[in-house]
Structure 1
C-alpha cells in the first residue's frame, strides 16, 4: 500500500495488458467502519467476477481475481487503511494506493486504467506535509483536510539523532580528508561550515546539527519531489533553532507548538488543518480573483466552446475544475477543439472535463480542482488563458 505520488500516474497511463481493472473503495481509519471495509471489498469482488465472466473464461477469471482475493485475506492490510483505497490490476501489473480523502465506490474494467479520481486528488490545493520532530526521532506525515497518513522516509533520510550525527560526522571526516589532500586547512574549515562557536555547549551543538541534517534530508528527498508545503510540529523551544538552520523554502512560517509524539495522529491532523485552512482559503480566493481579472480582459472563460478552442491552441494557463463534476461528452477534434456533449451514461460518451484536463496538462497547462461552491457561476470548468485570444 502506497501514498499517491504524481509519478504513479505515469505508471498507470503506460500501456498494460487488458483487462485493466480499476477499483475504488471508501475506507475507514477507525472502527466500527473499518470492520466493514473488507466486507464491502469482497462484495465488489463479486461484481468484478460477474463483469469478467461476460468476456473471459472461468480459468482466466480466476487468474485475474487471484491478487484481489489475496488482498482480501490480508488482515494486516485492512487495519492500516485511511479514507480511500484504489486498486489497479492487469495481468502484468498490481498496485494498491491509499487516499487521504473520501472517495466514491467504483469498479471499472477496460483496456486502460481509470485514473481521474487520482488526478483530481493531486490537483487539489489542500495537500500538505507535517514534519514531527523531537530530540530523538522524526516522523513525516502527508494529508489534507480529511486526514494525515505517515510517509515512509526515504532510505537516505536520517531517522533519529544518532543516525543524523553519525552521517554528519562521516561527511565531516570525508570533507577534512578532501581538503587536506588539496592542501586545505582541514579541521578549521569544518568548524566554519557548522558555525560551532565556543559559546555553545556540546548538547546545543548536537541539537543544531541534528536539526540541520533533518532539514536538508527532508527538503532533498521529500519536499522537492512533492512540492508540498511543510508544517513543523515540535515543542515550542525547538522551533527557533530548527528555523535557524533550515533552508527549505517550503517550510511554512505557521507552526504547531506541541510534542507531536504525545498526541494521536487524528489530533495532529485536526491541529494541522486548523493552521493550514486559512492559507488554503486564501489560495482559492486568489485563484478566483485571478480568473475574474482574466475574464474581464478577455483572457478567461467558463464557456465550454471557448475553452475547447483555447485548449486546442495550447493557450490555457490554468484550468479550474469543480470537484465531483462530470460533463458528458468528448473532444471530437483535438486540433480545432471541437467538443460534443452527450449523456454521461452513454457508453460511447466519456467525461468531457477529464478529457479536456488531460489535453491541457499535455500542453503544459496547470489543472486545479476547486470546491464546487467556489467556482465562478457554479461552472464545471473555468479557464485562465496565457493571453487574450
Structure 2
C-alpha cells in the first residue's frame, strides 16, 4: 500500500543506507483515457533505471528491480492514480508514494534516495485533509488548492460504524439495549417505549458517540499527527456538533463543511473545502512573511543563498522559505555548507533551492514552499534564524 507523505517517512527515506538507491518520479493521470499512457511511461523509466545500474557496473539486478517491474502490468495499481508517483527501492527496501501534484519524469540510481521533489510537495502550505462523516461511514481525503483524492485507509482505521462497534452495535430491530430492553422496561415503568421510541433513540445516539470517538482516535493517530495537516470536517450540522464535542484532534479546523458529504460530488467537496482552507493558508503565509520582515531588521533573517547554506549546517536556520517552481543551478558542498549559483550549468548541475531544502530538513529546520507572488525576496529563498 502506498505510504503517507510525512516528515517521518521522508526521514526514513533519507536514512536508507543500502546501495544502490533507486528513485523514480512520474506524473500520472486520474481519469481515462489519459491514464492509459501511464504504465507505458513507467516501463520506460524502469528501463532507464536498469540502464543506469548497468552503466555503474552493477551485475545481476533482477531482485532489485523485481518490485518495480511487478507494477507494470498491475491493472489495480494504475486504476488509483493521483497526479504524481514516486517509487523508491534499495536492497531489502521498496516504497511507493502517490502524490497530489505532478512531478517531472525522473529515474535516478545513486548512493542515496533522491527526495527533493517530495520535500517540495510535503512542505507546501496549501495541503490539508477532509474527514467526511455520516452515521454509517467515513471517508478521508487529502488535497490542495488544485484537487482532492480519497485516502486508502490503513488497518486500524474503521471505515464504517460496523467496523468500529462490531457486535456492540445496536440492532435496528430492537427497542433499546443489545439485550432487547428499553430503559423504561428495565426500570419497570408501566408505560414502556417500543422500537423507535426514546429508548432506542438513546441507544442510537450512544452508538453515534462511540463511533465518532473511535474515528477521532484513529484519524488522529494514523493521519493528523503524522502528517501535521489541517483537518476539515464535512458532515451534517448535528453530526458536526457531536463530533466537535468529543474530538481530541488539535488539527481539526473550527470551520467545517455543513453538508451531507455522501450527496456531494468530488468537485463540490473540493470547492467547499478550499473555501475553508484558503483563509488558513493565507494567514499562515502572512505570518511567515511578517516574521521575515521583522527578523531581517534585527539581523535574524537573510535572503543571501551562500550565507543561508553556511547557517543551515551550523544549525541556525529555524525556517526556510523557498519559492515554488523556481530552480537555481549552482555548486554545493554540504559538508561545508557551500551553495553558490553557477555561471555555467549542465544536466548534472544541482538545483541550489532543492539542496538547501534537503539540508534544512536534515538539520531540523522547517521548510515552507511559498508561491512566487507571495515570496518576500527576489532570490527565491529566505531564512529565519534561531539566533
Of 76-85 and 227-236, deviating more is 227-236
* Alignment map for 1:167-316 (pairs within 5 Å): 201-316=202-317
Higher helix share: 1
Instruction: Identify unmatched segments of 5+ residues in structure 1.
Output: 170-196
Q: 2 CA distance for matches of 1:201 and 1:134?
A: 18
Residues of 1 paired with 2:37 and 2:158: CA distance?
A: 38
Counterpart in the other structure of 1:326: 327
Shift of 1:230: 0.9
Superposition CA RMSD, Å:
2.8
The match for 2:195 is none
Per-residue displacement from partner, 1:248-281 (whole Å, max 9, x unpaired)?
A: 2211112112222233444423332232122212
1:333 deviation in Å?
A: 6.8
Partner of 1:380: 380
Q: Is the 8 A contact 1:332 1:340 kept in 2?
A: no
Instruction: Report the Cα offset of residue 84 of structure 1.
Output: 0.2
Indicate the residue corresponding to 1:88 in structure 2.
88
Deviations 1:137-164 (A, max 9, x none): 1122222223323334343333322343
> Aligned to 1:257, what secondary structure does the other structure show?
coil
Distance 1:297 1:345, change over 3 A: same
What is the total number of aligned residue pairs between the two structures?
357
| Partner in structure 2 of residue 184 of structure 1 | none
- The separation in 1 between residues aligned to 2:147 and 2:365, in whole angstroms, is 29
Task: Write the mapping of 1:99-178 to structure 2, written as runs, cut at 5 A.
Answer: 99-166=99-166
Deviations along 1:307-329, one digit per CA (max 9) or x if unpaired, are 23432432212110112333333
- CA change 1:168–1:216 in 2 (3 A) is farther
3-state SS of the aligned residue for 1:232? Answer: strand
Once the two structures are overlaid, the 10-residue window that deviates more, 262-271 or 89-98, is 262-271
Query: Is 349-358 or 275-284 further displaced after alignment?
Result: 349-358
CA drift of 1:4 comes to 2.1
Measured in 2, the distance between the counterparts of 1:38 and 1:20 equals 22
Contact 1:327–1:344 (CA<8 Å) still a contact in 2? no
Cα separation, 1, equivalents of 2:110 and 2:267: 37
In 2, Cα distance between equivalents of 1:147 and 1:273? 9
CA–CA distance in structure 2, aligned partners of residues 88 and 109 of structure 1: 10
- Distance in 2 (alpha carbons) for counterparts of 1:165 and 1:92: 38
Structure 1 pair 167/376, CA: closer, same or farther in 2 (3 Å)?
Answer: farther
| Residue 168 (structure 1) shift | 7.8
Deviation at 1:19, TM superposition (A): 2.8
> What is the Cα deviation at residue 223 of structure 1?
1.8
- Structure 1 residues 168 and 321: CA distance shift in structure 2, 3 A: farther
The residue that corresponds to 1:7 in the other structure is 8
Q: Judging changes above 3 Å, is the alpha-carbon distance between structure 1 residues 246 and 14 closer, same or farther for their aligned structure 2 residues?
A: closer
1:21 aligns with 2:18: no
Question: What SS does structure 1 have at the residue aligned with 2:255?
Answer: strand
Deviation, structure 1 residue 222: 2.5
- The match for 2:176 is none
> Residue deviations 1:278-300, cap 9 Å, x none?
22122112211111121122221
Q: CA shift at 1:131, angstroms?
A: 0.8
Bigger shift: residues 371-380 or 154-163: 154-163
Matched, 1:35 2:36: yes
Q: Deviations over 1:103-134 (max 9, x none)?
A: 11112121221000111111111111111111
Task: Please state how far the C-alpha of 1:346 moved relative to its aligned partner.
Answer: 6.1
8 Å contact from structure 1 (residues 331, 352) kept in 2: yes
Aligned partner of residue 254 in structure 1, secondary structure: coil
Residue 60 of structure 2: SS of its match in structure 1? helix
Distance verdict in 2 for CA 1:338–1:79, change over 3 Å: closer
Paired with 1:63 and 1:55, the residues of 2 have a C-alpha distance of 17
Q: Secondary structure at the match of 1:350?
A: coil
| CA shift digits 1:157-194 (9 cap, x unpaired) | 3332234345989xxxxxxxxxxxxxxxxxxxxxxxxx
Match of 2:357 in 1: 357
When residues 284 and 23 of structure 1 are mapped into structure 2, their CA distance, relative to the original with a 3 A threshold, is same
Q: Aligned partners of 2:214 and 2:62: how far apart in 1?
A: 50
Q: Structure 2 CA distance, aligned partners of 1:204 and 1:95? A: 42
